[in-house]
């Protein structure tokens, strides 16, 4: 039987609240939205977070917009939204092309851009597309925000230890 180990659970409604909960539960807490990678690892007990912080209600992280010369995509943006976005099609079609081959509709409807990039699988189409256009991500932690370049073949630490600039 695949049953995860016991864990605490909280549903955050803002980035600030998410950061507070991460500080409260420490290094072994994990943020979850789609959960397509984390949940199977928990069921196999390959991952044993002490707490899950559900960010599905953090609306400020779900967006696709153009600001100046940049296309900005929020971490909570669903794969399906990226695929269907006229802004993405107009400005960075490579993302729409990558999304067409990501998994199936269930994964595309629940999985998030942030989750895919945090998983940092170099064979995964979306992270490869972000690396191909030399994209950057903004990491936010208790000490502030910092941009980080999307690596082409190395993993990304999903929980910066003390500084948001420690990508």
> At residue 162, does pLDDT exceed 50?
no
Rounded to an integer, what distance in angstroms lies between the CA atom of residue 13 and that of residue 121? 28
Q: How many whole angstroms separate alpha carbon 49 and alpha carbon 149?
A: 27
Are 123 and 143 contacting, i.e. CB atoms less than 8 angstroms apart? Answer: no
- pLDDT of 61-82, one tens digit each? 999 999 998 999 999 999 999 9
Q: Please report the pLDDT score of residue 152 as a whole number.
A: 54
The tens digit of pLDDT for each residue in 1-51 reads 789 999 999 999 999 999 999 999 999 999 999 998 899 999 999 999 999
* pLDDT tens sequence across 104-123: 888 889 999 998 888 766 55
Single out the residue of 117, 136, 135 nearest to residue 126, CA to CA: 117
H helical segments located in 26-163:
38-43, 79-84, 86-91, 93-99, 105-110, 113-119, 125-132
């Amino acid at each position: 039987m695949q049953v995860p180990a016991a864990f605490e659970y909280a549903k955050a409604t803002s980035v600030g609240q998410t950061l507070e909960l991460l500080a409260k539960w420490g290094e072994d807490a994990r943020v979850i939205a789609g959960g397509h990678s984390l949940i199977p690892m928990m069921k196999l007990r390959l991952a044993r977070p002490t707490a899950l912080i559900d960010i599905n209600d953090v609306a400020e992280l779900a967006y696709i917009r153009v600001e100046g010369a940049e296309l900005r995509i929020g971490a909570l943006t669903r794969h399906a939204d990226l695929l269907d976005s006229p802004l993405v099609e107009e400005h960075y079609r490579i993302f729409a092309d990558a999304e067409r081959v990501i998994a199936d509709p269930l994964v595309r409807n629940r999985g998030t851009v942030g989750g895919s990039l945090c998983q940092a699988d170099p064979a995964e189409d979306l992270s490869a597309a972000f690396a191909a256009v030399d994209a950057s991500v903004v990491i936010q932690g208790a000490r502030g925000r910092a941009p980080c370049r999307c690596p082409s073949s190395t993993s990304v630490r999903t929980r910066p230890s003390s500084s948001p600039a420690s990508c």
